[in-house]
Amino acid sequence: MESKLALSQERIQKARELATSIVGPVLDFVDLHTTVTVERATLRLAGADGADADGVPVPNLVVDQLKGRLEDGALLYYVNALVKTGGTVADLNARIAGGLDVAALPLGDRGTLEAKAAELVETFQRRVKANRAHREAKQKQFEGRNHSPLLYVIVATGNIHEDTKQAVAAAEQGADVVAVIRTTAQSLLDYVPYGATTEGFGGTYATQENFRIMRAALDEVVEREGRYILLTNYASGLCMPEIAAMGALERLDMMLNDSMYGILFRDINMYRTFVDQKFSRMINAFAGIIINTGEDNYLTTSDAVEKAYTVLASQFLNERFAYAAGLPPRLMGLGHAFEMNPTLHNGFLLEVAQAQMAREIFPEAPLKYMPPTKFMTGDIFKGLAMNSMFNFASKLTGQGIHLLGMLTEAIHTPFMMDRFLALDNAKHVMNTMEGLADEIEFRKDGVIANRAKEVLEETVVFLEEIDGVGLMPAIEQGRFADIKRPADLGKGLDGLQKKGPGYFNPFEDFLKAELGL
Amino acid sequence: MIIRPYGDTLDDGAVQLSFTLPVPDGPKGREAARLFVEKLGFKHVDVVHSTALSSGFSMYVAYGKTETSVDYAAIQVEEATGAKVYTMDEANAVIREKLGRKVVVVGACTGFDAHTVGIDAIMNMKGYNHHFGLERYPELETFNLGAQVPNEKLIDYAVKVNADAILVSQVVTQKDVHIQNMTEFIELLQARGLRERFIVCAGGTRIGNKLAVELGYDGGFGKGSYAEHVATFIIDRLIERKTVH
Ligand code: B12
């Protein structure tokens, strides 16, 4: 791609070096630890599923039984129980749901357990590889049928069966990506509910069964429309890696997954989040799932001009964390957002500068561009106009994943009609100006080029500061999003566990080997 | 004074509508749309646009004229704050003069709601839209507990710091979660015999004074309210209480 901003490669390189240095010590910490949800995710990859009569999921039952022994890895005891009881994984799940205590069984010979675990890894990897192969085959079969950028919409009725209707309609209207928004507060549950669900607030529970139901519904449209429809959910919150695991098993294609969002915006403990994000990203990487990072959130609480550098800085950090988990750039949907105050004179130029800058700094990443949200009001007519500007900016700067703005953003989760109008608007704008980007260059010393330089420079300065204090202390001091999060506070800290000398996790070993880590 | 919607001629009653019907697009769908608008009481109904949203759903834009009217003169609205809103300086002066002590305010976005921007706009130093927040008022002592704060915890905190007023923010309103949560808050206060001890205000994008009062709050503040509105309300109520007691 030809550069239109003439950004200094040296400064970009500098920012990357700083990000590497900042992330390094965090990764060292991560490698020595596991968490309850990493353990449950591992169990899920091995096939643990189902729930007891009270709705407590089997992976939680197992991990809860292992109080004090988690440093060995929960899988050790699960596999041991499998060997001891002699049945299938499904039989074991039913036994555990019925009250079997895996911690009560004496541990068998390590070699036998390793061999049994290797079988489970084999089953897992065959399933996920088949999912990848299916996705790749369909994308090849229907090559050129998706929009560029991918048009992304959300559904959020709370009822999975209603969601599928909305999703199918959206796909028929031209959506390329359908995301099922999670219900309010699921991110703070330390378990993933089991089964199909029909009640949620502002979203629908992420459950493995809900994933399966939606995937099946969309797969039908894929054939009918001759276009691959990507399914998205949220690998975030206290169960980040478990949701990644479910997504890998049920062939989701994208996952919202940020290395720091949970810490800053959901008050989840930072140690917990850093450990969880790594394992979840390894699963995503192996499953070929594109992650979507959450930089847009910085701009919902701060000003888009003043704090533009926090977005770019976070993109560099997310990129580094992603590499460390084996994600190639083509799976890094780094985020940013069109949140410039609409009354700002020449604000559109600044917006284009920032979007183009992201494009040029991360040329291979399918950047995820978020629409105006915080300046959307009950004036739906103005909202539609703002969304048109957003669509224009996105196409002009070659974004990868385009989250459609809804004219009713300030009012409710989208009605079917809102989604249609958004898709119609995007298709209209993007079609009518398809070739414009190739026609224009930006003035060397113009507002746009200068703005991009300025943000890059501010980012380098900011990253230098963070590098000086260290990432975790910087978060404690409130240097990100003006939110202070003490390292030893926040939700989920009690689920952090140092790995013991005999820590057993062949899934992690497998993923590392497979991803070349 | 009787009024009707205005299109381009006084009293023409012209209204524009758009909606979705769960039927395919086509002549039958358009007729259904027309009949529907007619049944709403509109005359001269014109379905000017229809389009398929999917195989089973269609969207319509329609115009109609109505004879329905409202008596503008008879309308009464009760906002939490009246015509007089103290500026920050006035508010501080009034507190010094009439109350002679610091006023303590505790606020949070409660329940599972994670939206902090609204309560921050009211409470934090910086404020919102060039209107400073309560934290900047020298005569106020403020505690902003942030978001996702359980009702119980907010009440405990208010008791601990001996608050004069409690501010509750609710932004997520889907399926009326805010109503359940706001109601629970008042019930908890009542159960602990604390309702009368505090001035309790609710706020949020879709919260109005009317709703808040119905749910047992002293006042409600919606979109477009700033720190000075709620400060004025709290101060006037405190003065009122002082003179009554
Ligand atoms: C920013 C934002 C977020 C950010 C919040 C960041 C943060 N730290 O606050 C993030 C990304 C985290 C977020 C998450 C979610 N959001 Co949100 N979000 C918004 C958005 C875009 C803007 C809200 C905002 O900041 N407004 C600016 C402030 C200043 O306005 P305000 O809150 O109305 O406050 C003013 C007044 O109301 C009043 N006020 C407010 N509170 C109080 C209290 C008192 C006491 C007083 C006196 C006054 C007062 O004063 C303020 C200044 O005038 C809106 C859409 C929109 N444009 O409104 C959606 C929106 C509010 N979100 C929505 C939803 C559904 C969610 C999620 C549930 C989505 C999901 N399923 O995950 C999650 C919430 C999860 C949870 N547990 O709550 C819906 C709510 C729909 C509904 N009516 O119920 C909206 C409308 C978007 C939509 N169309 O779907 N969101």
A157 contact partners, CB below 8 Å, separation of at least 6: A163, A166, A200, A204, A413
Mean pLDDT rounded to a whole number for chain B: 94
Q: What's the gap in Å between B115 CA and the centre of ligand 1?
A: 5
User: Of A275, A261, A237, which Cα lies nearest the Cα of A480?
Assistant: A261
Alpha-carbon distance of A507 to A503, in angstroms, equals 12
Residue A166, in any domain of the structure: yes
A118 near B CB under 8 A = no
Touching check for B113 and chain A: CB below 8 Å?
yes
CATH no. for residue A242?
3.20.20.440
Q: So what's the pLDDT on residue A482?
A: 81
> From the list B18, B53, B117, which residue is nearest A169 (CB)?
B53
Q: Say if A415 is an interface residue toward chain B (CB within 8 Å).
A: yes
Write out pLDDT tens, residues A246-261: 999 999 999 999 999 9
Q: Structural domain tally of chain A?
A: 1
Residue A309 lies in a domain: yes
Total Cβ atoms within 10 A of residue A135? 18
Residue A358 lies in a domain: yes
For ligand 1, the distance from its centroid to the CA atom of residue A33, given in whole angstroms, is 35
Alpha helices per DSSP H over A325-446:
347-361, 380-396, 416-432, 436-439
How confident is the model at residue A380, as a pLDDT?
Answer: 97
Ranges of each domain in chain B: 2-70, 88-244
What SS3 state is found at A258?
A: coil
Is the CB of A412 inside 8 Å of chain B's CB atoms? yes
Please tell me the distance from the alpha carbon of residue A372 to that of residue A482, in angstroms, as a whole number: 21
Residues 6+ apart with CB under 8 A from A17: none
| Chain A residues whose beta carbon lies within 8 Å of the beta carbon of residue B146 | 267
The residue of A153, A168, A201, A409 whose CB has the most chain B CBs within 10 angstroms, and thus the best one to mutate to test that interface, is A201
Q: Decide: helix, strand or coil at residue B242.
A: helix
Provide the pLDDT confidence category of residue A345 given band limits of 50, 70 and 90. very high
Q: Is A417 on the interface with B (CB under 8 A)?
A: yes
Tell me, what's the pLDDT at A281?
98
Which residues does chain B have within 8 Å of residue A412's beta carbon, measured at their own beta carbons?
A: 174
pLDDT score recorded for residue B244: 66
**CATH T-level topology, domain B88-244:** Rossmann fold (3.40.50)
Q: What percent helix, strand, coil does chain A show, rounded to 5?
A: 55, 10, 35
- Structural domain including A421 reads 146-448
Inter-chain residue contact B59 with A417, CB threshold 8 Å: yes
Using only the alpha carbons of chain B, give its radius of gyration. Answer: 23
Mean pLDDT, rounded, for A503-507: 98
Q: What is the dihedral of CA A246, A251, A276, A160, to 10 degrees?
A: -50
Residue A215 lies in a domain: yes
Please determine, for residue B245, whether its predicted confidence score (pLDDT) is greater than 60: no
Q: Inform me whether the C-beta atom of residue B114 falls under 8 Å from chain A C-beta atoms.
A: yes
CA distance A308 to A88: 53
A32 touches B at CB < 8 Å: no
* Cβ pair B18:A410 closer than 8 A: no
A387 CB-contact burial (10 Å; exposed 0-12 / middle 13-18 / buried 19+): buried
Cβ–Cβ gap A168/B54 under 8 Å: yes
Condensed to tens digits (0 to 9), the pLDDT of residues A304-324 reads 999 999 999 999 999 999 999
- Identify whether A356 is part of a domain: yes
The minimum CA-CA distance between B98 and chain A, rounded to whole Å, is 36
Q: Is B237 helix (H, G, I), strand (E, B) or coil?
A: helix
State mean pLDDT over B93-105.
Answer: 96
Residues having CB closer than 6 A to ligand 1 are: A 181-182, 184-185, 202-203, 265, 297, 300-301, 373-374, 376, 409-410, 412-413; B 107, 112-119, 121-122, 128, 167-169, 171-174, 201-206, 221-226, 230
Q: Cα–Cα distance between A204 and A16 in angstroms, integer?
A: 37
Mean pLDDT of A171-185: 92
Return d(Cα A325, Cα A272) in angstroms, integer.
16
ipTM: 0.86
Nearest-angstrom CA–CA distance, B135 and B142: 6
The CATH number for B2-70, chosen from 1.20.140.70, 3.40.1260.10, 2.40.420.20, 3.30.30.60, is 3.30.30.60
Nearest CB to B117; choose among A168, A188, A301: A301
- The answer to whether the CB atoms of B20 and A378 lie below 8 A apart is no
A33: Cβ contacts below 8 Å, ≥ 6 apart: A271, A275, A496, A497, A498, A499
Are residues A282 and A511 in contact, defined by beta-carbon separation less than 8 angstroms?
yes
Instruction: Tell me which residues of A are annotated as active site.
Output: 261, 296, 368
Would A124 be classed as within a structural domain? no
CA distance A35 to A261: 18
End-to-end CA distance of chain A: 29
- How does pLDDT run across A281-294, given as a tens digit for each residue? 999 999 999 999 99
Q: Which residues in chain A have Cβ-Cβ distances shorter than 8 Å to B18? A: 417
Answer whether B172 sits within 8 Å of A168, measured CB to CB.
no
pLDDT value for A1: 62
Mean pLDDT across A251-277: 96
Per-position DSSP letters for A452-474, written without gaps between them: HHHHHHHHHHHHHHHHHH-HHHH
Rounded to an integer, what distance in angstroms lies between the CA atom of residue A208 and that of residue A195? 7
Q: How far is B205 from chain A (nearest CA, A)?
A: 8
DSSP characters over A366-378: --EEEPP-TT--S
Q: In what order do the strands lie in the sheet with B43-54?
A: B14-21, B57-65, B43-54
Residue B160 or A267, more confident: B160
What pLDDT, on a 0 to 100 scale, did the predictor assign at position B123? 96
Question: pLDDT tens across B112-123, in order?
Answer: 898 999 999 999
Which residue has a Cα nearest atom 69 of ligand 1? A202
Picking from A189, A286, A271, the residue whose alpha carbon sits closest to that of residue A236 is A189
| Beta pairing class for A368-370 and A335-337 | parallel
- List residues of B with catalytic annotation: 126
Mean pLDDT of A8-29: 98
- Give the bridge partners for B61, in sequence order: B18, B49
* Torsion over CA: B5, B7, B8, B12 (sign): negative
Chain-chain contact of B20 with A265 (C-beta, under 8 angstroms):
no
Which among B131, B154, B169, B171 is the best mutation to test ligand 1's pocket, defined by most ligand atoms within 8 Å of the CB? B171
Is residue A439, in this structure, part of any structural domain at all? yes
Do A201 and B172 lie within an 8 Å CB cutoff? yes
> Rounded distance, CA A373 to CA A376, Å?
5
Alpha carbon distance A5, A72 (integer Å)? 52
Residue A28 lies in a domain: no
- Per CB-CB distance under 8 Å, the chain A contacts of B51 are 420
Distance separating alpha carbons of residues B109 and B115, to the nearest angstrom: 7
Which one of A236, A407, A412, A420 would you mutate to disrupt binding with B, by most B Cβ within 10 Å of its Cβ? A420
Residue bearing the CA closest to ligand 1, atom 54: A410
